[in-house]
A and B are shown apart, each in its own frame.
Chain A
Amino acid sequence: MTKSELISALSAAHPHLNARDVELIVQTILTEISTALSRGDRVEIRGFGAFVVKKRDARQGRNPRTGSTVAVSEKTIPFFKAGKELRERVNAQVSGAHLPGTHLSRSKRG
């Protein structure tokens, strides 16, 4: 599924919203996660997962073609760790375990 397919599917599920708003919602969520990570913040969505940034130290890398050493500077990597429910749901068919009632559990609007 691509972003545009996600937007179409959401529009179909929420017919009272226009497609432009649905697109704005999806984009707002993604932009906010990206912005938070850029600030070095973490984003934690219970049941779904957590987005964090990890620091990678500077290192001596190698150009795989020539074998010459190149300095790789320190950098930050976005990282996603799946939450428990997501992990279990993704794994459900393989293990054959049926997990009753594992919908992204979230008390209906607190």
Chain B
Amino acid sequence: MGFEKFLFYVFAAITVLAAGMVVTRRNPVHAVLYLVLAFFSSAALWLLLEAEFLGLVLVLVYVGAVMVLFLFVLMMLDIDLATLRAGFIRYLPLGVVIAVVMAVQILLVVGPGNFGAEQFPTPAAAAADVSNIEEVGLLLYTDYVYPFELAAVILLVGIIAAIRLTLRRRPGTKYLDPTQQIQVRKGPDRVRLVSQVSTAGLREEQGARDVAQSQEDGSA
């Protein structure tokens, strides 16, 4: 028990610190990296709770896919940090007062009196042959099948909304059409012969024009 408790405090402290860094970093990319750290240590906490499957999925899905995508988006966007921070100092005193009051209130309620160890005795450890995946799957597809399907509909709405709000057919867009590309024939489509005036001829023409120019200047 002792070592587990030690691990818990280490990971919990890392999570809280990382979460604090997420909201205080100037550079949004740094903030996202700290968020990745927060997710990672939360996954470790879940492992301690014997929710191994959820912990691994958190790392695979959130850290591996969602946050990487998020980083991409962040690097694509041109965020003006100055305007983002413009109201920061002005609203800081009020924000700090409200945050402190709320934090104290929450601590009073969510303290050991209501959520302490004696209120929630440690559940018995799961047997070695209990499979996390099986348990989660059973619950999702039996008791919670209705909310599960609803979540699927919400994702569909997300897709439709994103397409409606962003997809525009721009007439001038340049893009490659692979079906046309592979139909290119060897002869006429790949090589085109262009008749070109030789460079020597060009130079002579240029010289003649210069002479004519200087004669005009002289006469004027």
Partners in one complex: no
